[in-house]
Amino acid sequence: MSDDVDPLVAGGPSSSDLPIPATALVVVAHPDDAELQAGATLAKWARSGCDVHHLVLTDGSLGTWDPEMDPSTLVALRHAEQRAAAAVLRRGAGDDTRVHLLDLPDGELTASIATRGLVAEVIRRVRPQVVVGHDPWKRYRLHPDHAAAGRLCVEGIVAARDPGFHREQIDAGLAPHRPDALLLFEPDVANHAESVTAQDHATRLDALECFTSQIATTHLYKVDVAGSEDPIASWRSRELDSMRAVGAWAGVELAEAFHLLSEQL
Ligand SMILES: [Zn+2]
């Protein structure tokens, strides 16, 4: 989980394992954020019949260390990677209409009213019982897109549920929608755990391996590549260890940690 503040408070989570939602929407800044931060939970829900949708806010055009990489080539690659990863999480169920790509400029995301309206529109169309997103209140966060995406998710829910927001959508036939729960991943303070199986965890890693453009910069970052004969195996092992640590906190074998908001919705 997080580097700076341990979100796993003493005593374990206050709640575990939401009912499997019929429909879930994960709202993220970049391709791969959903799989990195909540992939095993999304895999669990999908195998239990949940219709999992992704809303990816930026185009991912800054996600490279290669100065020669053409941005439009990278964007097309990241679209394909995200669609492939989402299909792995969904185990082939559903189709690409479940991946909603806003293609806002990577690195420039702001919680503007216009962008909030775009998020609310997707929520009003998809009508998820559970929304999953970045924690906008996480301390010591560096990446501006993650903070902005968290705000857009939270404020997009308010705008989606209240009929006075973005009336042009209501006038166009989209009804307001109020989700039952919001799960914030990479939480500042975790209060909820989703237990997952080893298969859910493996599905998450398989989905993450679809992001071939990110393996060096994200997956293997902080893995001792030079000292490892098989860096991918080392990475998979490290990921399993962190999911076991959350599981120990939650009193199960493997889990992902969240901050659950439900009464506030
Ligand atoms: Zn990201």
Tell me the CATH number at 120. Answer: 3.40.50.10320
> 51 C-alpha to center of ligand 1: Å?
23
Q: How far is the CA of 1 from the centre of ligand 1 (A)?
A: 14
Distance 259 CA to ligand 1 centre (A): 18
Spatial separation of the C-alpha atoms in residues 51 and 26, rounded to whole Å: 11
How remote is the CA of residue 57 from the centroid of ligand 1, in Å? 10
Q: What is the pLDDT of residues 136-149, one digit of tens each?
A: 999 999 999 999 99
Q: Each residue's pLDDT tens digit in the chain (265 positions)?
A: 445 678 998 899 999 999 999 999 999 999 999 999 999 999 999 999 999 999 999 999 998 888 888 999 999 999 999 999 999 999 888 888 899 999 999 999 999 999 999 999 999 999 999 999 999 999 999 999 999 999 999 999 999 999 999 999 999 999 999 999 999 999 999 999 999 999 999 999 999 999 998 887 777 777 776 777 888 888 899 999 999 999 999 999 999 999 999 988 9
Distance from residue 136's CA to the centre of ligand 1 (Å): 13
Extract the tokens encoding 141: 């966060």
Ligand 1 centroid to residue 184 C-alpha, Å? 14
Whether 168 maps to a domain, the answer reads yes
Cα 171 to ligand 1 centre (Å): 34
Q: Is residue 7 part of a domain?
A: no
pTM of the prediction? 0.95
Does some domain include residue 11? no
Q: Separation of 170 CA from ligand 1 center, angstroms?
A: 31
The HSE-up count of residue 140 (CA atoms within 13 Å, CB side) is 9
> Quick check: helix, strand or coil at residue 210?
coil
Query: Is-contact 160 176, C-beta < 8 A?
Result: yes
Neighbour tally for 237: CB within 10 Å: 12
Q: Is residue 250 part of a domain?
A: yes
The pLDDT of residue 3? 52
Q: Which pLDDT does position 2 carry in this prediction? A: 44
Distance 32 CA to ligand 1 centre (A): 7
Number of domains in the chain: 1
Measured between alpha carbons, how far is 130 from 22 in angstroms, rounded to an integer? 9
- Tell me how far apart the alpha carbons of residues 170 and 116 are, in angstroms, rounded to a whole number: 15
- The predicted pLDDT at position 95 comes to 84
Residue 10 covered by a domain: no
For residue 98, report the distance from its CA to the centre of ligand 1, in Å: 19
Residue 5 in any domain: the answer is no
12: in domain? no
Residue 34: which domain range? 19-261
